[in-house]
Structure 1
């Protein structure tokens, strides 16, 4: 089931017109949401990130685009699922209305909501081997636009192809200053001794929802010293632990980078706290 501007239709009916500005110019934003136990995990954070991103891209936010309206549209879209306990991955996509070339004829928007089934009701720690390498063919530009969740993901796509061709599980992306910014599918955290760090937004990393949640958890609940600071590739082999965070998988430990192997003790401590926040938020 797909919700296109409030109209529900089955997935086999084409919903994208050839003049779609997201398709033609990458003029679109999206939120990837985890739904389980009758609720959208961290919905308020997702909603306000989307609103802030739309303002940055000069999109007109409709008067009815309240948090309650969009939540009701999401719930209406997934109401066709027979088993209400099945966890879902939901995609909320927003783009500028058709018309114009680089200069749009209108800043008004359209939207679509779709979903697919996923496995686990809560975040589960994947302890399978996960090897990464730096992707150095292309770089993320540091700055505000790189922090937004737009559908301009060519670096992530090419990095994913590179990982597959080289039998890797993921790649770490760099900005133009050769600083480590994020993984292909989420933010990164490094643990070294009693310190835990993640790149700052000014370096170009995604303003991730789980990034925000883990920063508050680390600061408030764990006996670790948190740093939001640029990360050099040389630091990767000094770390005791490294993991990826995203809204669907939660915390994903990296086990190997080149000859360096990592543990997952801090990830294990964080996971139950993250699940508790997801349920009670």
Structure 2
């Protein structure tokens, strides 16, 4: 059985993740959004990371600056000075991942390594801040995740990539082969459904728990769905509506 990583906190606690921080103003992945989540009482945030042309990790979801900032261009092709000069929503600077990790020393951070350019820079930011015990490294690509882990001096928590999650869904409902599918990770971060197709069932959750893996579901923004998944037994929820998620957990006596 894999040893429980400190990132996950106490067994039985619900991991409530503020997705890209919390902002109703379109300021995702900004320091203002992360501070808003902290002010709400969140102990976990989710963020994304890319590497600039000169090897600096920034907290940004997209490969380019175009959608969320007042500048354009691929992050991996631009120097950090130009990326950091961009303003999210025209007002908030793109943050360094190192600043997200260093500003709130107790905050647990789920980092999605979005591209190959982020592998080294993300590892460097974790090393410089010594935040191994409160970080989960995730990626849709298991190769990117593993490459990032190889650069670290100490273990971090890890989440399944797309291929591993697919393997889990293929065998999870049967209750067999789950340990092999998830042998390299601490938890699953998965959608409850894809389009109109429901993916996650209580049998999947039970199967993951049987081999000591947690199940965190993204991105859940409706209170009824939050409640349904919690009653199913999931261990964590990722939400853009951190305010609603907190209210649901308080009502259930699960907010810490």
Shorter-chain TM-score bucket reads under 0.3
Structure showing greater Rg = 1
Give the strand-richer structure, 1 or 2: 1
The TM-score, its normalising length taken from structure 2, stands at 0.27
TM-score normalised according to structure 1 size: 0.25
